[in-house]
Chains A and B, each alone.
Chain A
């Protein structure tokens, strides 16, 4: 049972985490990002289209569609994120409103396009793309370690990808020149400008990165939890990862801890319900846990939280 909790918890927490990393990039650069939900959905959509199309060419045994799916999810999520960047940076829209608008737009666009594509290319009227659950990998030897071995058992390939990416993203944000400028844009954009760096370009890049990472997360959810792409992907995972990053005080490692708490609360709850033999509708009660937990923790910790100082402010070059 503990094995199941660890395996399921990780496969939920890691996509959440990579999305939160994307959110941190965007918010550290000063752009409030409530649009993660929409980014992950749109990324999952483009990825799923690619998978369905390529499966038709390569056959269902090939692993090409799987990896191509993730690449297209990254591209799709990133391109969609550019709309948010355009609205926030060029059109100076309110960033909170723009974020919510992006979510609604993503949901409307993907459900419309899913149906249209299914109707015109595959001749059915379904509102989803079937993907099937991803294959799982077990590491030999490592998985034999008692208790902790479960971390290396039955893992999805995307979990490895996410861990590698997260390390790279951590390095870029904290150890490179670009990362330093990005963080400075969120605290004092005018000083960045005075140093001769284009604030708009840095912020656009940050939002683009957050879209790419969210795309991976969305594709992971589509491949693991639901095994298809349908409008059900908009269940609020994006919002959950925003909660995680606010908890994590806008830094990467504490956000990982928050995501793990969410993941294990979810899988642990389901396991308990299974063990007690309760009907599956009780799962809905368990799903409440991460949200209530978030609220309680926010109540206790919000006072000590420091958001980036220029977060949500529209940067205007002429203003001092």
Chain B
């Protein structure tokens, strides 16, 4: 409950800071924040294009939120187990790319998901293995892997998988894409995120895993104090290896639902910023799987709604990432606030 209050505090302070910036730029903060909700399909817009209404906006909001849930779960589970997985971006990218490649041979949605899980898990396992076998700090190794994967995938896309018009990778075939785009229902065109139920189920499963199983207990123990866990007779290396593998697998799921779902193609030359935003989301959600769902909901409102807000209010869309960064900064200070409270 306390964590929840702290997260709320971080959000409120950040929103006030954001409002202050908007106000300094001669914009109406309240109208701008309402635009965020409208852009996310949570409030009625003034007018809609053909075949669209609030519900279609909401469905595409869900579509954007799905990879964010997976990514934040990946960060959260790693943090619980004493790892800082800053490599979510790279793991997402490699999983998305390999899934793209295999869908050329076998176009199947199930396969895309399975491949994503395996690819992400392997990268996560590599990081975990290097940490316990060679004492390589996981932060450094995952940063190195991020860049390696980014350049490798960029090279592969630019040499043989590029769409010459959009300068992006070719699009994944519709029958393997995890989002059904433009689905006709009544007279609406909907984007349906097929992976969304999986995201919710995964979050619940992880909650059960952490709170109700032996492994979850050991994982938390290792995360809190590896030494104490070792003296209690736990196999610290094995447990942290498994934790990192699970975290990688979740990042892989985020990757496929992002690159083979929300987007149908991969942008070369850059890592998805979602991998870093997920750190904010996870901290905001108190590193709790269920908390991650709510935090993803909130951050996605800001990132998704900012497109509509910037067009309505004539503000740079970068304001969204600025507000997210503020939330992150204040969330990082929450340890200080909670310590204050305890005294």
What 0/1 pattern do residues 21 to 62 of A give for CB contact below 8 A with B?
A: 000000000000010000000000000000000000000000
Indicate if the CB atoms of B141 and A116 lie closer than 8 Å: no
A129 on the interface (CB 8 Å rule)?
A: no
Mask: chain B, 121-140; 1 = CB below 8 Å from A; 0 = not:
00000000010001111011
- The smallest beta-carbon distance between B318 and chain A, in angstroms, is 4
| A291 and B147 within 8 A (CB) | yes
Within the complex, the shortest CB–CB distance from B327 to chain A, in Å, comes to 10
Is there an interface contact between A291 and B158, defined as CB atoms closer than 8 Å? no
Known: A92-B336, A284-B158, A285-B151. A108 touches B325 (CB 8 A): yes
Residues from chain A with a CB closer than 8 A to the CB of B135 are 302-303, 305
Which residues of B are found within 8 Å of A242, using beta-carbon distances? 140, 143
Interface SS majority for chain B: helix
User: Which residues of chain A from 270 to 320 have any CB-CB distance to chain B below 8 Å in the complex?
Assistant: 279, 281-282, 284-285, 287-288, 291-292, 294-295, 298-300, 302-303, 305
Interface membership of B111, Cβ < 8 A? no
CA distance A288 to B144 in the complex (A): 9
Chain A residues, Cβ within 8 Å of B321: 104, 107-108, 111-112
Known contacts being A96-B84, A299-B134, is A236 close to B146, with CB within 8 Å?
Answer: yes
Task: Determine whether B178 belongs to the interface, using a CB cutoff of 8 Å to chain A.
Answer: no
Q: How far is the CA of A143 from the CA of B289 in the complex (A)?
A: 62
By the criterion CB–CB under 8 Å, are B325 and A104 in contact?
yes
Bound Cα distance from A291 to B277, whole angstroms: 23
B141: chain A residues within 8 A (beta carbon):
295, 298
Chain B: which residue is nearest A37 at the CB level? B143
Contacts of A104 in B (CB 8 A): 276-277, 279-280, 321, 324-325, 328
Q: Are B144 and A302 in contact (CB under 8 A)?
A: no
Contact B154 A93 (CB under 8 A): no
Which of B288-343 touch A at CB < 8 Å? 316, 318-319, 321-322, 324-326, 328-329, 332-333, 335-336, 339
Contact A281 B279, beta carbon cutoff 8 Å: no
- With A92-B336, A96-B84, A104-B276 as contacts: A115 and B316 at CB distance below 8 Å: yes
A180 beta carbon closer than 8 Å to chain B: no
Instruction: Verify A100–B136 contact, CB threshold 8 A.
Output: no
Whether, in the assembled complex, A87 has its beta carbon less than 8 Å from a beta carbon of chain B, the answer is yes
- How many chain-A residues does the 8 Å CB contact rule pick out? 47
Q: How far is the CA of A98 from the CA of B283 in the complex (A)?
A: 12
Within 8 A of B (CB), among A110-132: 111-112, 115-116, 119
Q: How far is the CA of A82 from the CA of B89 in the complex (A)?
A: 28
Complex contact A294–B144 (CB within 8 A): yes
- Tell whether, in the assembled complex, residue B159 and residue A295 are in contact, meaning their CB atoms are under 8 Å apart: no
A101 to B328, CA, bound (A): 6
Q: How far is the CA of A246 from the CA of B147 in the complex (A)?
A: 17
Per-residue 0/1 for A221-262: is the Cβ within 8 Å of any B Cβ (1 yes, 0 no)? 000000000000000100110110010000000000000000
Task: Contact check, B145 vs A295: say whether CB atoms are below 8 A apart.
Answer: yes
A144 within 8 A of B: no
Do A239 and B143 touch across chains, with their CB atoms under 8 A apart? Answer: yes
| Shortest CB distance A88–B (Å) | 9
Measured between C-beta atoms, what is the minimum distance from B341 to chain A in Å?
13
User: Shortest CB–CB separation between residue B142 and chain A, in angstroms?
Assistant: 10
| Distance between B124 CB and nearest chain A CB, rounded to angstroms | 15
Please name all residues of chain B whose beta carbon is closer than 8 Å to the beta carbon of A100 when the two chains form the complex.
Answer: 86, 276, 279
Query: A residues within 8 A CB of B148?
Result: 288, 291-292, 295
A290 to B335, CA, bound (A): 36
Tell me whether B322 and A108 are in contact (CB under 8 A). Answer: yes
Q: Is B16 an interface residue (CB 8 A)?
A: no
When A101-B325, A116-B25 are in contact, do A92 and B143 touch as well, CB less than 8 Å? no
B contact residues around A91 at 8 Å (CB): 332-333, 335-336
Task: Report the minimal beta-carbon distance from B163 to chain A, rounded to whole angstroms.
Answer: 14
Interface contact B155-A93, CB-CB below 8 Å: no
- For residue B158, which residues in chain A have a CB less than 8 angstroms away from its CB? 281, 284
Inter-chain CA distance A117–B194, complex, in Å, is 42
In the assembled complex, the Cα of A240 lies from the Cα of B140 at a distance in Å of 9
Q: Is B188's CB within 8 Å of the partner chain A? A: no
Q: How far is the CA of A287 from the CA of B316 in the complex (A)?
A: 32
Minimum CB–CB distance from A94 to chain B (whole Å) comes to 7
List, sorted by A's number, 17 A–B pairs whose CB atoms are closer than 8 Å: A93-B332, A96-B139, A98-B332, A104-B279, A115-B316, A236-B147, A239-B144, A284-B158, A287-B151, A288-B147, A291-B144, A291-B147, A291-B151, A295-B144, A295-B145, A302-B135, A303-B134
Task: List 4 additional A-B contacts (Cβ < 8 Å) besides A87-B329, A90-B336, A92-B335.
Answer: A103-B276, A111-B318, A243-B144, A291-B145
Closest 7 CB pairs of A and B: A112-B318, A284-B155, A91-B336, A281-B158, A108-B325, A108-B321, A105-B325
